């Protein structure tokens, strides 16, 4: 009897820890709850280790990710897989066997808040392997440096160096890639890097080969407004909570994480900040850039007075290499045809939707692929153990778009 009672108590405690009220429209809520409980457990353990001085919280998380998720480069009957270096940056290459003599080419940047994950993870290996086989494309998955050991602009420089090497005549010839059918892509923080690289290289007239497409998967594109409708609506929706995104930004920019409350209060973008011109503010004015069905009932949060300390200590907040949404219209107008995936239950939804609108206003052809039941990171959870239905659907649609346009 006592064992049964103890078991019931433990079961109730586990259910209490796992259960999380979620919006009614989110895909497969119980799977998302279990995933979130796992993530929260790891993050709480890493916070304890950090507080005790054992190691940095990010280092512990990455050790866990590496132990659970990273796999060796293994070829299969359809795809040859190798680890190499591209522009001085570690990269996993997926080459389809057979098919056409000249292949399409995709360079891909993984997500993880510029601090976590790797192209060697099982989820990204599966994604890139499928892309290589379905598209008859050479896919290069780049392992850029990560925070806290490397901070902005290191990740951007790695992405740019790898992209320049990818577009070089030597690499295109070595891997039999068609120079007229190349794409830059990435998800979340990797989508940020892909957008920034597309902006930089599309403005480089010295290049003889450039990207035909940019494909951005729920990208993070700005850190000046943490009160967009999607940040307000999804502040408590896993797996990317609003405070975690602010922390990722501060770690990426090499800033003091004690500034997190100021970012979350929008104190850093108050009206008395001399560094924020009306031109900069207009580039993320969601009252003008978002459609009414996304603005809903939400109101902007703009402080009259704020903390000058933040912009003084972290001027990178308005560096377009870190925040591609802030780019000038002339720069955006030179970027390639675009695909932007967004998810309804994602704090970053409006970053992507505002970028869609700004690209369109600059004359760029854009496909906006929105998932009403999607959540942040869903595409990389298409495979086991989660096997997310919206993840599988979004991944197939993303690959289909590449197939039709690349």
* Angle of the 189-202 helix axis to the 154-166 helix axis, nearest 10: 60
Output the CA–CA distances (angstroms, integers) from residue 250 to 51, 174, 257, 334, 371, in the order listed.
18, 39, 6, 30, 28
- Cβ atoms 196, 233 nearer than 8 A: no
**Contact criterion met (CB below 8 Å) for 374 and 394:** yes
Please give the Cα distance from 169 to 150 (Å, whole number). Answer: 29
CB 251 within 8 A of CB 257: yes
Q: What is the DSSP string of 18-85?
A: H-----TTSSSHHHHHHHHHHHHHHHHHHHHHHHTTSS-HHHHHHHHHHHHHB------SSEEEEEEE
User: Which helix or strand (DSSP H or E) is residue 338 part of?
Assistant: strand 337-345
Q: Are 227 and 196 in contact (CB under 8 A)?
A: no
Q: Catalytic site residues? A: 188, 346, 376
Check: CB of residue 280 under 8 Å from CB of residue 147.
Answer: no
Cα separation, 28 vs 187, in Å, equals 21
**Quick one: which of 321, 222, 236 has its CA closest to 268?**
222
Buried (b) or exposed (e) across 89-99, using 16+ Cβ within 10 A? bbbbbbbbeeb
At a CB cut-off of 8 Å and minimum separation 6, what does 104 contact? 135, 136, 137, 138, 177, 178, 181, 182, 183, 402, 406
Tell me the Ramachandran region of residue 53: left when phi exceeds 0, alpha when psi lies from -120 to 50, beta otherwise.
left
| CA–CA separation, 90 and 52 (whole Å) | 32
From the CA atom positions of the chain, what is the Rg in Å? 21
Q: What are phi and psi of 54, to 5 degrees?
A: -70, -50
Angle between helices 2-18 and 29-51 (to 10 degrees): 90
48 token code pair:
């304890």
């Amino acid at each position: 009897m006592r064992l049964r009672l103890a078991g019931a108590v433990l079961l109730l405690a586990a259910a209490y820890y796992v259960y999380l009220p979620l919006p009614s429209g989110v895909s497969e809520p119980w799977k998302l709850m279990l995933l979130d409980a796992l993530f929260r457990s790891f993050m709480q353990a890493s916070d304890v280790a950090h507080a005790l001085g054992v190691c940095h919280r990010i280092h512990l998380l990455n050790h866990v990710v590496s132990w659970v998720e990273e796999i060796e480069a293994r070829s299969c009957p359809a795809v040859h897989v190798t680890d190499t270096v591209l522009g001085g940056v570690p990269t996993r290459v997926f080459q389809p066997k057979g098919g056409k003599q000249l292949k399409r080419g995709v360079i891909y940047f993984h997500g993880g808040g510029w601090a976590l994950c790797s192209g060697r993870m099982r989820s990204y290996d599966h994604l890139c392997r499928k892309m290589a086989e379905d598209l008859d494309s050479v896919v290069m998955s780049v392992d850029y440096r990560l925070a806290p050991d490397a901070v902005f602009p290191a990740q951007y420089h790695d992405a740019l160096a790898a992209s320049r090497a990818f577009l070089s005549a030597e690499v295109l010839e070595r891997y039999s890639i068609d120079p007229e059918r190349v794409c830059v892509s990435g998800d979340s923080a990797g989508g940020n890097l892909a957008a920034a690289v597309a902006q930089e290289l599309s403005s480089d007239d010295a290049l003889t080969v450039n990207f035909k497409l940019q494909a951005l998967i729920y990208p993070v594109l700005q850190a000046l407004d943490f009160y967009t409708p999607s940040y307000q609506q999804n502040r408590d929706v896993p797996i990317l909570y609003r405070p975690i995104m602010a922390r990722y930004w501060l770690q990426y920019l090499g800033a003091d994480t004690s500034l997190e409350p100021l970012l979350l209060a929008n104190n850093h973008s108050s009206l008395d900040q001399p560094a924020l011109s009306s031109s900069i503010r207009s580039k993320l004015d969601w009252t003008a850039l978002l459609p009414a069905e996304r603005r809903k009932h939400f109101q902007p949060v703009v402080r009259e007075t704020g903390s000058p300390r933040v912009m003084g200590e972290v001027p990178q907040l308005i560096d377009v290499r870190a925040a591609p949404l802030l780019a000038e219209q002339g720069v955006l107008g030179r970027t390639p045809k675009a695909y932007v995936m967004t998810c309804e239950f994602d704090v970053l939804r409006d970053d992507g939707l505002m970028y869609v609108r700004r690209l369109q206003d600059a004359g760029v052809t854009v496909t906006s692929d929105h998932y009403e039941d999607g959540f942040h990171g869903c595409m990389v959870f298409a495979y086991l153990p989660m096997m997310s239905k919206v993840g599988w659907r979004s991944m197939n649609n993303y690959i289909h778009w590449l197939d039709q346009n690349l």
